[in-house]
Amino acid sequence: MVADGRAYVVGPNALIHLQGGSYLVALQEAVTPGRDGSGLVALRAFVDDPSLGLAPGTQLLVGLARAAHPTGASVVLGLPQLQAQEASLAGVPSATAKFPSVVFPTVTGGIGAEAVALAERFLGVPYAWGGATPSGFDCSGLVMYVYGLLGVSLPHYSGYQWYAGPRVPTEKLEPGDIVFFHPSANGPQHEGLYIGAGEFIHAPHTGDVVKISSLYDTQYALSYVGAVRPYTAGTASSSSSSLLPSWTSAPG
C-alpha cells in the first residue's frame, strides 16, 4: 500500500506512522467499536492532524470484514475473553479460520517489544473505567492485561504499577516500559506503554479509545512522572508487594 507518498509492504497489524501524530493500522485483528465481538479491519486510520480536514481523534474504518457477533463460540483472531463467532478470514495473509488460543505476534526485541505488539492489537478498543478485557480497558487495565498474557503479573492500579519495577530514565526508555503521568498523593494517575520514538499506547479516558500519543504533547510532557520496566522483576508479584503503599486500590 502507499501512504504519504511512500510504499509499504504490510502484514496483519502493521502500524504506519503519518505526519502530525496520525497513523494507520493495516489488517488489524481487533475488537470492533460499537459491536459485541471481533472482526478484521482492513485499514484503521486515526486522525490527529486538523489539517487533514477531520477533527482530531477521528477514526476511519475501511473494509470491516464481516465482524463476528456473540454466540458463545470460541476465541476469534487471537483475542481472549470474547464471546464471538468466527469471522471470515478469506484472503487474509498469514491467518487461519480458527485460533485455539491467544496468537502471539512474531517480534524481536524481547518481552517489552512483545507487549507493545500485543497492545497494538487493541487500538480502537473503547475506554472503560475498571476495564481489563478486550471489550474495554482503562489505562492500567490495558497494561496489566497485555503483560498478563506474557506471564508478568501486575496490579490493576497505576499507583501500584509505579512500584512494579525499577525506574527507567527518559533517555533509556525502551519499548514496553510503562510511562506514568499526573502525579498525586496516591501515585501517578495515568499510564501507558512506551512504543519508541517518543510515543506510547494508552487508554486515555471515558469517551476515548486505545490509541497512540506522543510524550511531547503538552498535556503529557507537563504531567510526566517517570517510567518503570516491569518485566525485569520477573513474573512473581510478591517480590515487589512490600514496596506498595497502603492506600485503597482503585482502577486507573
For helices 111-120 and 139-149, the axis angle rounded to 10 degrees is: 120
Reference 169, options 99, 221, 101, 229; nearest CA is: 229
182 catalytic? Reply is no
Could you tell me which of 217, 214, 188 has the C-alpha nearest to residue 202? Answer: 214
- Residue 117 phi, psi dihedral angles, 5° rounding: -60, -40
Dig out the grid coordinates for 228 from the structure.
518503570
Q: Single out the catalytic residue among 17, 156, 182, 202.
A: 202
Residue ranges of alpha helices (H) inside the chain are 111-120, 139-149, 158-161, 218-221, 238-241
User: Is 190 known to be catalytic?
Assistant: yes
Spot the catalytic one: 17, 156, 190, 205. Answer: 190
The strand ranges marked E within 93-239 are: 132-133, 136-137, 178-181, 190-196, 199-202, 211-214, 224-228
- Among 76, 245, 230, 85, smallest CA distance to 165 is for 230
The residue from 139, 156, 182, 205 that is catalytic is: 139
Q: Is 69 a catalytic residue?
A: no
Q: Which residues are catalytic?
A: 139, 190, 202
